[in-house]
Structure 1
């Protein structure tokens, strides 16, 4: 139910405001609405810098100015390249999944690590035939230190049970191994950016190599970007491809299904395709 009460120029005290809110709650109001949708992520474009010709005096060394402007960008690229080399070197040293978890825990190339509560490596059976790769930990995952334990994870468990699979099953033929591209929660559950994904790929690739699943399920755009270099999950889903040297099935993320229940029909078709491939 929408609230259409508008107070123009009227000053009310706190007790009156609380009484009005309670009255609206009793009427069934459960969501504040504006007259038109407001996209709070649509930030205004930054102001354009002044033209160089307007601020550089005649005869000035414009080559030096250009070099000074590009220096921070070049430094940023160098830092990313160094962080990527470190990620590749650390992941290559791992001889087991436990080694990899320990090495990645000590990796400081990702700034978002500083704001996360827990390192979220994996869950399920490492010997499983299927490895499911998601995006990144959310709030619940960050709190518990396990991937896919929030509402989306609960839906994932229901989906897997529907085809006789699960993360807790002792039988490796029906168990699954679950991980995310990023092992630390991005601030505010935002989507990982391209740099964060690229710095996580060496660890993810090594995790897949060490777990050695028969099939990789890529749930959402971020895993597809990391493993395939492509996005557009609504186009990619349901079509078998190759990722990390093995068969891979892109699927929509359970969080997407919670927001778009109509897409559950396609997710069910993808699950049946997975079960058929496994001969379950």
Structure 2
């Protein structure tokens, strides 16, 4: 609003008439205190004209009081007509809008609770009683060990109950940079006594299988087991390791695989295959044969354990088919 309009003699009477009729200005700009004082002076000068131009009291009694200068009247907006049967919500108290200053909230928030609008949203946290699984410090150290450190750690391992009945731990044997890694179940009686995997009749059969592939024990081949100690039953006979025993010992084999970085893995028997692939214990070896599986991006071929082949001679031809699959996989990886 300019100063010329304010000095117009008819401005005061027009403003008073509009206020008396309840249709005063729908928007009054809130500036500094100097403009508010000037507005009050204009209203004081227009008081006589307002009294002279006042309409009938019966009309003015039905009209709302004039809007104060320091309160912003909301702009009239069209709203859908309410149903006569629907109750009308009580009017909420108006809150004076904050003065618009540099860096403050904009004037379009004068109809909002600015403090509530800026209140941070609280994100619910998890259950305080929820337990976070702890990291096994032994496994963390295993992941950083080299071959001599790892072998020393296995020799003194007591992570499961198999350590109580062992004579020797069976770490593994062969070329530490081998391209072939053969993995069996666990040590038997002969292995427990000598501390080396696959000795005795089953070991001789494995050596013959390697020679048929053009591979020799200790040369470009490494032989290990899922567990490093001999599992036995109450009668002292060999048995498959339990899931708990496998879980306790598997980090050693995993570290061996990381250090060797073989080209192809060959799982000898059900326990080795299921432990490496993380499959259900009821999965038969016959379902896993004939396909190339993956263990941490390394190809893995499953075949029968040499001890099983000594008892089931008819399956030796199937084992040879598995080894041929491993050979073709190795050649594909090498090329």
Class of the TM-score when normalised by the shorter of the 2 chains: 0.5 to 0.7
**Rg larger for:** 2
The alignment partner of 1:265 has SS state of: helix
Shift of 1:101: 1.1
Map 1:131-280 to 2 at 5 A: 131-169=181-219, 175-187=220-232, 188-230=237-279, 231-279=283-331
Q: In 2, distance between residues paired with 1:220 and 1:87?
A: 28
By percentage of residues, which structure has more helix?
A: 1
- Distance change in 2, residues 1:202/1:277 (3 Å): same
TM-score, structure 2 as length reference: 0.55
Map 1:7-18 to 2 at 5 A: none
Query: Residue deviations 1:190-230, cap 9 Å, x none?
Result: 11011001111211111100111111111111112221012
Q: In 2, distance between residues paired with 1:271 and 1:165?
A: 11
* 8 Å CA contact 2:191, 2:198 repeated in 1: yes
Structure 2 counterpart of 1:19:
none
Query: Residue deviations 1:105-164, cap 9 Å, x none?
Result: 222111111211001001111111011110000011111110001211110100111121
* 8 Å CA contact 2:159, 2:249 repeated in 1: no
- Distance change in 2, residues 1:184/1:119 (3 Å): same
Structure 2 counterpart of 1:93:
144
Aligned residues: 194
Shift of 1:99: 1.4
Structure with larger RCO (C-alpha < 8 A, sep 6+)? 1
* 8 Å CA contact 1:87, 1:202 repeated in 2: no
- Distance change in 2, residues 1:87/1:226 (3 Å): farther
- Distance change in 2, residues 1:86/1:136 (3 Å): farther
Shift of 1:87: 4.4
Query: Residue deviations 1:7-50, cap 9 Å, x none?
Result: xxxxxxxxxxxxxxxxxxxxxxxxxxxxxxxxxxxxxxxxxxxx
Q: In 1, distance between residues paired with 2:314 and 2:228?
A: 30
- Distance change in 2, residues 1:90/1:194 (3 Å): same
Structure 1 runs not aligned, ≥5 long:
1-80, 170-174
TM-score, structure 1 as length reference: 0.65
* 8 Å CA contact 1:87, 1:107 repeated in 2: no
Query: How big is the alpha-carbon RMSD for the aligned residues of Structure 1 and Structure 2?
Result: 2.0
* 8 Å CA contact 1:205, 1:244 repeated in 2: no
